[in-house]
Structure 1
């Protein structure tokens, strides 16, 4: 191969290399432009989402505090509709969950503007009372009417969970109602099954129960049993006090065992066990 041929080949290779580099530079330039456009689009979307989150926060605060809504603001009507749809979807999920966990029923009424909830209570397999509540969801979730006993701390439960976690609100309220029904039923069963025990004191909430028993022995010694239910979502007492004029009796191992019976089983069951064991008359 002569010098002219070699120079021709080298020139051709250099031309190809320059063309390849130019094409690579063009691809990189095009890709860089595409990335810039994508970055701008993402920043715009980010700003839109920030604006929507800001609008939702303002709207939810207004709805929570029952303030008038400014429907003229951009997107406020759509945001409100989205929130209400979210609440309705949550209620429909709860309707389905009821068939699995029980405790309450939900029925949509007034063309979806409200939800009627029925709380069923029972104890030891016996159906007791039913309580009803209507929830207005036309604007923000709030209770329009109910027959929940005034002894239940309903206002506190509403502040805790009604707006933020409807499922937790309904489940907690159901626990309160069932525990109250169970404590009431225990009092009825004591009167029915354990006639020798006198109920000295109980209140509307049934969180204090004072029982007068008579201990077995040569002389029937009176024993005062005070049951305190500090956890209102449960039907077993959290504290039991045994008192008697005979200090040795109330502090005896037998009556300490009786105290544990009250803490671990329903009151009427504990009393029947104590009677069977001849601790009481």
Structure 2
């Protein structure tokens, strides 16, 4: 009888310890969620302010473009063009480019005048981490031409240039930046996965040069059982940093593994890769009372 009572007390105490651990973990998660909500609110306020400033700059650029068109039409109707008219046109174009750069500065694009035109700097970043800068020269602003550059060969520069450089320098730069920044973001996630011990099974990481296909295997413990999952992430949108499709499989023919594979697939599509794997690791650490 005494032995049974002792076992009962130990079982109750063990269960209370588990409940206390769970309560502590929930309190930590709630505090972290509160801090994240406050930080998110501050970021939203900053974004609204930046959008306001961006809209003001866009209005300024539009007004300058209208002045350029008006003066161009006037010059066309009163040939031959004198040096003062040409100088005024060039001055307005440079002023328009300067205004455009002020508007694009908020997106990571900056530039400066050169003897032949403009040199633009495309600064890439992902989740607040600066990843690197790429430079491209655009010569002859009246009939823009690509000069020297260090754009990665995997970026379709010729295609983007042929489609937009002559008609809209702003659209050309914006689209080029979208391609480069997304490429840098995908590469950052793949490199971080490769450099993080235990994040994936050794020797399983595969990727292409544009980082639009990423395959790897990883281990997850569920209900005391170690399961090996294989993931293949597809980025069909080359201007995106999150995959459009995530194929996750597990060779173990158990219902819990198949349910987990579906959940992991959704997680990889919604979160950056390292955060998704960190979330899976936290799930392993959470106490289970089933």
Q: Same fold (TM over 0.5)?
A: yes
Structure 2 equivalent of residue 169 of structure 1: 172
Structure 1 equivalent of residue 240 of structure 2: 234
1:109 to 109, 114, 122: 114
Give the secondary structure class of the aligned counterpart of 2:284. coil
2:146 to 143, 146, 164: 143
Change (3 A) 1:83 1:140: farther
Change (3 A) 1:123 1:196: closer
Q: Does 1:200 align with 2:202?
A: no
Q: Does 1:262 align with 2:262?
A: no
Tell me if the contact between 2:250 and 2:261 (Cα under 8 Å) persists in the aligned partners.
Answer: no
1:186 to 162, 185, 189: 189
Separation in 2, partners of 1:277, 1:219: 14
Q: Quote how far apart the aligned CAs of 1:195 are.
A: 2.1
Give the secondary structure class of the aligned counterpart of 1:278. helix
Give RMSD over aligned pairs.
2.9
Change (3 A) 1:137 1:250: farther
Tell me if the contact between 1:117 and 1:134 (Cα under 8 Å) persists in the aligned partners.
Answer: yes
Q: Which has the larger radius of gyration?
A: 1
Tell me if the contact between 2:220 and 2:280 (Cα under 8 Å) persists in the aligned partners.
Answer: no
Change (3 A) 1:273 1:138: closer
Q: Quote how far apart the aligned CAs of 1:159 are.
A: 1.7
Q: Quote how far apart the aligned CAs of 1:85 are.
A: 5.3
Q: Does 1:125 align with 2:125?
A: no
Tell me if the contact between 2:250 and 2:257 (Cα under 8 Å) persists in the aligned partners.
Answer: no
Separation in 1, partners of 2:255, 2:140: 59
Q: Quote how far apart the aligned CAs of 1:127 are.
A: 1.2
Change (3 A) 1:80 1:256: farther
Q: Does 1:92 align with 2:136?
A: no
| Bigger mean CA deviation after superposition, 212-221 or 261-270 | 212-221
Q: Quote how far apart the aligned CAs of 1:90 are.
A: 3.0
What is the count of residue pairs matched by the alignment? 208
Unaligned regions of 5+ residues in structure 2, if any? 1-71, 286-290
Compute the TM-score of the two structures, normalised by the length of structure 2: 0.63
Give the secondary structure class of the aligned counterpart of 1:226. strand
Separation in 1, partners of 2:176, 2:256: 37
